[in-house]
Amino acid sequence: MSGKRFLALLVVVGMVGLALWLYRGERKTMVTSSSTKLQIEITGGFAFVAPTTGNKLEIAYLDDWVLRKDTNGNGVMDPTEPAIFDDLNQNGVQDANEPDTCNVDQMGTDLIVERGIVDSSVGKTVIVGQPEDLDKAVIRFPALETANIPLTIDRGTAWPPTPPTPGNPDQEADWKDMVPSLRSYHGGTINPSWQTMVNGRIVLPGGNIKATIPSNPVFKKAHFEFKDKNALKFKAAMTDKVIYTVDVPGSTVELQITGATSGLTKLVLKPQGNRVVLVLRGRHDTSIPGHQAPLKDFCTFYQLLQPMPDPNDFLTPFYIEATPLTLPPPGSQKPSPGFFCPGEWF
Amino acid sequence: MKRTLPELIGVLAFAALVNGNPTEAAAGQKPVNVATSPNPVVIAILSDHYTDETEFDLDVQNLIVNGLLANPYYASRKADLEVVSFYEPLKAGTQSNYGFNVEVPSGYCALSWTVSDDDATNTATLVDVAVSNSNPRHTIVIGDHPYNIGCTDGAWTYVATDVIGTDVLAHELGHGLANLYDEWFFASNAGVSHPGIPLNQTRNCYDTRHGARPPWMPPLTAPPGTVGNFPGAGSVAGCDFFELDVVHAYPPHPSGHNYCLMGATHGAEFCPVCQFRMGQAFNDAANPDMENPDVTNPDAQNPDAENPAPGAGSRIPKPPTNSRVIPGTKPPSPPRMQIMNAVFEAQTPKAQPPKGSTPATGTTKPATGTTGTTGATGSILKPAPARPIVRLVAAFDPVSGRLRLKKGIPITARYTPSHRRLGEWAYEVVVNGRTHVGVIPSNLFRSHSYQGGVAHQSSAPHEADITIQIPDVTADALKAGTANVSISIWLLSPNVTEELITPAVLAKLRKGGQAERRGQELTVRDLISVM
C-alpha cells in the first residue's frame, strides 16, 4: 500500500470513527430528551384553576361543605354557626322538610392507573386498575415542574356556553365549552386562600386540557336547566369529563405525593405501549338523576367564589333527559347506579 | 417458571372443564382465572368494539384480575370461578359484532341491543355463539368505549372500559350470578310504590305487602344459622328502583360496614343477605347433585334420595374457610349447602361417550370405592366430566309459555343447569328417557320503560331470550335420528316454596298439582331446525 493510499485509508477510518462517535452522542442525547405520553382522564366535580399568568394548571378536589350563616361576622363560616336552609314556609325555623341550602358530603377522590407499569411506589403498594384514595393528597410531576411546557386550555372564556348544547354530541370538539364556570357567570375571583380550603389538588405545569364527551352516553343528548331560587336562568349541556395530555420528559412518569392519608408519597410509572393513562375520579353515591331532578352538590363550588353570591342567586342545574325510547327491548335490564357531577372552571 | 401444585392442577382443570378438549379452544380464547374447585362457575369475558387484542388483554387484566377478582367477596370465591376471555376483533363497518349500541339507551340501561329472530343479528345468539365453547354461566362483555356504564340482561353483563376502579362489575355480577335486585331507587321513583314482588321471588328485596316482617329479620323461632336469621338485619325502604312497599335488609353503614354492593354506594361490600344469595349461586354450581338421574329410578346414587329435601328452611352449614366472616353482626356466611369444600383430585379424563349415546349414569357420583371426596352428608365432590351438549338460545313467552328455538350450538363441556327457583318457571328436558330439569328466572320477562317526566314503571311480562342446555346430545345424533329429545315448560304455583327444582321435586309438584305444563312440547324436529 502506498503512503497516499494509507493516508486516505486513515482519513476514511477516522471519519467513520468520528461518525460513529457522533452517532453515539446523538443516541445519548435522544435518550435523555425522550418523553412519555401522559393522559389523565378527569371525571367528576373538580375545580379547575387556570393560572392568570404562567403555565401552572391546578385541579382541586373539594372537602365537605355546609353553607352557614356568619352570625359572628368574622367573615368565616365556623362549624358552630347555623346552616342556611330553604325556609319553604318562611317561618324562620328549619322544619323537618326544609333542607340545608348547601350541605355536601364529599365521598373522596380516586386515582387509578389505567395504562402503565408500576416501576416503584413509596409508602403504599399501587396496583394497576385499582383505585388509590387521594384524601389530602397534593400531587406534583417533578419532570413537568422544570420542563417549561406551554399550557393550552381548549375552551372559550364565557359561560353559559354559546351554543348552549353541542352541535354534534358525538363530536368531542363540540363539548369544549360544556364545563360550567360559575366564576364567569357571577363574576369575581377564586378565593386567594383556595389551596387551603380544598381537600387536595394536582399541579400540572403545562400540557393540554379539554372537555370531552360525558362519561355516560345518556347525558350526551340531555341538557340542564339552571335555576336560582327565583327562576330559570338558562339551559345548557354539561359534561363531567375532561382530558389532560402532556409529553412528560423522560422514559418514566414520576408522581410526588404529599400529605396523602394513604401514606403514598411517590409513584413511578413506566409506559405501557407508549403511554401512561391515569384516571382521576370523584366518588359519588347518587343514582342517575331523574328527569327534572336537581344536582344539589353543584352548590359546593360557591365556597371558592369571592365574593360569594347571595344564596338566593346560587345556580342549581336540573337534569332534563333526552327523549327516551318508547319501546324498550325485552329483558330485565339491570343498570349500574351511575353518577354525574360536572367540574367548574375558575 | 415455577408452578405450584394447585396452579398445575388448575391448568389441567381448565383444559378438562372448559372444553374437554383443549385443542378445540377457540381463536382468541385465553384462561384468565383457573379455578381449583372441581365444579366452578364459568364466566366468559368477551371483547366488543376492540381492534387491538393487546388493549383487550390489558383491560381484562385491569377490570377482571385487578378489579373483580380483587373485590373481597369475589377474591374469596376465586377458587370457584373459572374465567375465560374471548377476543373477536371488530368487524369492519360495524360498531359491535353482537348488535350492542352504547349510544342509544333502552329501558333502564344506557345501552341497547338487538332482539330478532335472525341468528345473524340477535344479540343473545351472537354472544352465545362467541363464547359457547366454555359453556359459561354468565358472560361479561367489555366494550372498548370511553364510558362508565354497566348493564345486565339475562346471561350477559355489558361494561365499558371506564368502569375501571369502580364497583360496577362486582355489582352487575350480583344480578348476573344470583339474580339479586338493585337496592336503590331512581330519584323520580321517590315516593312511588313498587308494582309488586311475589313472595316466592323474595331475594334481597321484600314486598312488605306480604306482611311487615321480611324473611331475613331475626325470627323468634328460626335456629341460628338458618335462612331467616340475619343478625342486625332490618327493614330499609327502597329496592328494585322503587322507594315504597319494598325493603332491603341493611342500612348503609351498620357496625362500620359499607353495605350494600347492590346499592348505589361506593367501595361497598355485599350485605349478609346478598352474600347468602351469592353463596347459593356458587354452591349450586359446586353441588354434584345438580345432575339428577331419572326420578323413576331412584337408586342409591339418586341425590334426592340421599339429601334432605331442599326448602326455605335449609340449614346453613359452617362458613367456608375462604370466606370473610364479618365481625360484629355474625351473619350467616356464604353457605355450602349440603356439601363441604373438597380437595381436588386430578382425574383421568373420561372417554367421551359415543356420538348419540348417553353416559352409563347421569350422576357425577362415583361408585363406592372410586375417587372423590365425601362431604358432610355423604355427597361426593369431583369434577363433572365434559359431555356433549346442545346449547339452545330460545325466545320464551311467559304469558303463553311458548318456547321458540332460535339457535342450537353443539359443544362439549360440563353440564351446568340451574336448579334454584327464581320465580315461577321451570323447563324439563327428556333425553333418551332421562329427565333433566332447569329453571327460568321470572324477572327476565319484565322490562321497565323509562318515561320522561313520570315515575318509572314496569311493563307487562313479555318474550325474552333464554339459554337451555340439552345434555348428552350431538348434532350428528339428532340428524341421524338416534337421539330422542323433548322439551316442555312448567308453570309453578305461587305457593311453591321449594328452592331447588330437581326432577324429583318437579315430579312431586306435578303430582300435587303445583306445576302445570304450558306451551307445546318441542321435539327433535324442532331442534334440528335450528342446528
CB pair distance less than 8 Å for A285 and B172: no
Q: Tell me which chain A residues have a C-beta less than 8 angstroms from the C-beta of B457.
A: none
Q: Tell me which chain A residues have a C-beta less than 8 angstroms from the C-beta of B63.
A: 129
Give the model's pLDDT for residue A26: 43
Nearest to B151 among A112, A130, A333 (CB): A333
Give the model's pLDDT for residue A324: 53
If you average pLDDT over residues A13-40, what whole number do you get? 62
How far, in Å, CA of B528 to CA of B531, rounded?
Answer: 5
If you average pLDDT over residues A282-308, what whole number do you get? 83
Q: Which one of A53-62, A221-230, A333-342 scores highest in mean pLDDT?
A: A53-62
Alpha carbon of B531: minimum distance to chain A alpha carbons (Å): 24
Q: Which helix (H) or strand (E) holds B407?
A: strand B402-413
Give the model's pLDDT for residue A285: 60
How far, in Å, CA of A335 to CA of B146, rounded?
Answer: 17
Residues of A (66-95) whose Cβ lies below 8 Å from B: none
Q: Which of A135, A95, A116 is nearest to A254 (CA)?
A: A116
Residues of A (260-279) whose Cβ lies below 8 Å from B: 272-273, 279
How far, in Å, CA of A134 to CA of A264, rounded?
Answer: 9
**Count of Cβ atoms closer than 10 Å to residue B54 Cβ:** 11
A292 to chain B, any CB pair closer than 8 A? The answer is: yes
Give the model's pLDDT for residue A4: 64
Strand partners, B47: B142
Q: Where are the alpha helices (DSSP H) in B390-474?
A: none
Taking CA–CA distances from B452, the nearest residue in chain A reads: A291
Q: In what order do the strands lie in the sheet with A223-227?
A: A232-236, A223-227, A316-320
Strand partners, A40: A244, A278
Q: Are B74 and B278 in contact (CB under 8 A)?
A: no
Q: Are B375 and B340 in contact (CB under 8 A)?
A: yes
Residues of A (209-238) whose Cβ lies below 8 Å from B: 212-213, 215-218, 220
CB pair distance less than 8 Å for B104 and A325: yes
Q: Tell me which chain B residues have a C-beta less than 8 angstroms from the C-beta of A336.
A: 149-151, 163, 167-168, 171-172
**Count of Cβ atoms closer than 10 Å to residue A26 Cβ:** 10
How far, in Å, CA of B17 to CA of A37, rounded?
Answer: 43
Q: Tell me which chain B residues have a C-beta less than 8 angstroms from the C-beta of A337.
A: 171, 182, 184, 263-264
Give the model's pLDDT for residue B32: 97
Give the model's pLDDT for residue B382: 64
Give the model's pLDDT for residue B275: 93
Q: Tell me which chain A residues have a C-beta less than 8 angstroms from the C-beta of B188.
A: 290-293
Angle at CA of residue B413, ends B407 and B418, nearest 5°: 75
Reported as a pLDDT band with limits 50, 70 and 90, residue B320 is: very low
Sequence-ordered list of residues with C-beta below 8 angstroms from that of B423, at least 6 positions apart, any chain? B198, B200, B201, B439, B440, B441, B442, B443, B492
Q: Which of A22-36, A116-130, B142-156 has the lowest mean pLDDT?
A: A22-36
A192 to chain B, any CB pair closer than 8 A? The answer is: no
Q: Which one of B57-66, B395-404, B434-443 scores highest in mean pLDDT?
A: B57-66
Q: Tell me which chain B residues have a C-beta less than 8 angstroms from the C-beta of A130.
A: 66-67, 70, 165
How far, in Å, CA of B143 to CA of B51, rounded?
Answer: 11
**Confidence check: pLDDT of B39 > 50:** yes
Strand partners, A59: A48, A202
Alpha carbon of B465: minimum distance to chain A alpha carbons (Å): 8
A329 to chain B, any CB pair closer than 8 A? The answer is: yes
Alpha carbon of B122: minimum distance to chain A alpha carbons (Å): 12
Give the model's pLDDT for residue A6: 64
- Under DSSP, the state recorded for A42 is E
Sequence-ordered list of residues with C-beta below 8 angstroms from that of A144, at least 6 positions apart, any chain? A204, A205, A206, A207, A246, A248, A249
Tens of pLDDT, residues A242-275: 999 999 999 999 999 999 999 999 999 999 988 9
What average pLDDT does chain A have? Answer: 87
Alpha carbon of B157: minimum distance to chain A alpha carbons (Å): 9
ipTM attached to this prediction: 0.83
Q: Tell me which chain B residues have a C-beta less than 8 angstroms from the C-beta of A291.
A: 188, 452-453
Q: Which of A145-159, B101-115, B327-341 has the lowest mean pLDDT?
A: B327-341
Taking CA–CA distances from B158, the nearest residue in chain A reads: A335
**Confidence check: pLDDT of B153 > 90:** no
If you average pLDDT over residues B200-215, what whole number do you get? 90
CB pair distance less than 8 Å for A216 and B148: yes
How far, in Å, CA of A32 to CA of A29, rounded?
Answer: 5
Q: Are B130 and B98 in contact (CB under 8 A)?
A: yes
Q: Tell me which chain B residues have a C-beta less than 8 angstroms from the C-beta of A317.
A: none
**Confidence check: pLDDT of A161 > 90:** yes
B19 to B24, B349, B414: CA distances (angstroms)? 7, 12, 8
Q: Tell me which chain B residues have a C-beta less than 8 angstroms from the C-beta of A114.
A: 62, 164
CB pair distance less than 8 Å for A336 and B168: yes
Q: Tell me which chain A residues have a C-beta less than 8 angstroms from the C-beta of B109.
A: 333, 335
Q: Which one of A257-261, B25-29, B294-298, B333-337 scores highest in mean pLDDT?
A: A257-261
Give the model's pLDDT for residue A274: 85
CB pair distance less than 8 Å for A279 and B165: yes
**Confidence check: pLDDT of B480 > 80:** yes
Q: Are B332 and B272 in contact (CB under 8 A)?
A: yes
CB pair distance less than 8 Å for A328 and B149: no
Taking CA–CA distances from B57, the nearest residue in chain A reads: A115
What average pLDDT does chain B have? Answer: 75
**Confidence check: pLDDT of A122 > 80:** yes
CB pair distance less than 8 Å for B110 and A335: yes
Give the model's pLDDT for residue A288: 63
If you average pLDDT over residues B433-450, what whole number do you get? 70
B118 to B106, B125, B392, B444, B519: CA distances (angstroms)? 20, 9, 14, 20, 22
Q: In what order do the strands lie in the sheet with B387-397?
A: B402-413, B387-397, B464-471
**Confidence check: pLDDT of B307 > 70:** no
CB pair distance less than 8 Å for A335 and B151: yes
Reported as a pLDDT band with limits 50, 70 and 90, residue A287 is: low
**Count of Cβ atoms closer than 10 Å to residue A212 Cβ:** 21
Nearest to A283 among B115, B266, B465 (CB): B266
A131 to chain B, any CB pair closer than 8 A? The answer is: yes
**Confidence check: pLDDT of B416 > 60:** yes
Angle at CA of residue A55, ends A50 and A60, nearest 5°: 40
B402: which 3 cell numbers?
311458548
Taking CA–CA distances from B106, the nearest residue in chain A reads: A328
CB pair distance less than 8 Å for A114 and B186: no
CA B467 to centroid of chain Cα atoms: 11
- Torsions phi, psi of B21, nearest 5? -150, 95
**Confidence check: pLDDT of B367 > 80:** no
**Confidence check: pLDDT of B325 > 50:** no
Give the model's pLDDT for residue B421: 87
Give the model's pLDDT for residue B62: 94
B251: which 3 cell numbers?
342500612
Sign of the four-CA dihedral B182, B183, B189, B192: positive
Among A332, A340, A341, most B C-beta atoms within 10 A, so best to mutate, is: A332
Give the model's pLDDT for residue B381: 56
Nearest to A272 among B58, B114, B464 (CB): B58
Q: Between A and B, how many residue pairs show a Cβ–Cβ distance under 8 A?
A: 177
Alpha carbon of B152: minimum distance to chain A alpha carbons (Å): 5
Nearest to B61 among A43, A129, A283 (CB): A129
Tens of pLDDT, residues B217-266: 866 555 555 555 688 888 999 998 888 999 999 988 888 888 899 987 77
Alpha carbon of B33: minimum distance to chain A alpha carbons (Å): 17
Among B98, B115, B164, most A C-beta atoms within 10 A, so best to mutate, is: B164
Packing angle, helices B168-178 and B272-286, rounded to 10: 60
SS3 B193: strand
Bigger pLDDT: B525 vs B462: B525
CB pair distance less than 8 Å for B162 and A334: no
Bigger pLDDT: A186 vs B24: A186
Give the model's pLDDT for residue A121: 98
CB pair distance less than 8 Å for B264 and A287: yes
Tens of pLDDT, residues B14-29: 444 444 443 355 668 9
CB pair distance less than 8 Å for A218 and B105: yes
Q: Tell me which chain B residues have a C-beta less than 8 angstroms from the C-beta of A242.
A: none
A287: which 3 cell numbers?
343514582
Report the percentage of chain B scoring pLDDT > 70.
70
Q: Tell me which chain B residues have a C-beta less than 8 angstroms from the C-beta of A331.
A: 107, 115, 153-154, 444, 447, 464-465
**Count of Cβ atoms closer than 10 Å to residue A33 Cβ:** 9
A38: which 3 cell numbers?
401522559
Alpha carbon of B59: minimum distance to chain A alpha carbons (Å): 8
